[in-house]
Amino acid sequence: MEQNSVNGTGGDSLWIQLLGEVRAWHAGREVALGAPKQRGLFALLAMRHGHLVTVSEIIDALWGETPPGSAEGSIHTYVHGLRKAWEVVGVTGLLVRAGGGYQLEVTADQVDVAVVEACAGGAGALGGAG
C-alpha cells in the first residue's frame, strides 16, 4: 500500500465531518475512527486543528471532573488507534505529539465546521458591505 503524508500526493483528498456524526475520509475511503471516546478525542483535535491540545484539556473533555486513574494511558491508546486507522487509508503524520499534548495536522478547508465558519464569516462581511 502506498503511504501518503498528511498533505497527500496526487490530489488525494482528506475530509473531516464534525457536524452530525463524527466521520472522516481520505481519497474516498472512510476512516474507522473507533469507539466513542476515541472518536471524541478525534473530534476534539479536529475542532482545534493545527493547535496543541494538552493532555489535561483532553482529560477534561473526555471525562470531565472525575477522570479514571487510567485516563492518560487511555489517551495514548486512543492516539495509537487513531494513527493506525489513518494508516489503513494511507495517511501518516496526521496526529502529532508535541509539548505535553497532541495536535491534528490538517487545514481549515479539510474540516466541515471550519468551512462553515469561514463561509458564515464571509457572508457577514458581505452583509456589512451593502
Q: pLDDT band for position 119 (50/70/90)?
A: confident
- How many domains does one find in the chain? 1
Query: pLDDT digit string (tens) for 53-78?
Result: 999 999 999 999 999 999 999 999 99
Query: pLDDT digit string (tens) for 1-54?
Result: 333 444 443 346 999 999 999 999 999 999 999 999 999 999 999 999 999 999
Give per-residue burial for 70-108: e unless 16+ CB within 10 Å, then b.
ebeebbeebbebbeebbeebbbeebbeeeeebbbbebee
CATH at 87: 1.10.10.10
25 inside domain: yes
pLDDT more than 70, % of the chain: 83
The radius of gyration of the chain from alpha carbons, rounded to an integer in Å, stands at 16
Q: What is the mean pLDDT of residues 70-88?
A: 98
79 inside domain: yes
6 inside domain: no
8 inside domain: no
> Which pLDDT score, from 0 to 100, does residue 120 have?
82
pTM of the predicted model as reported, rounded to 2 decimal places: 0.84
Query: Which residues form the domain of 66?
Result: 14-129
User: How far does Cα 127 stand from its chain's mean position?
Assistant: 32
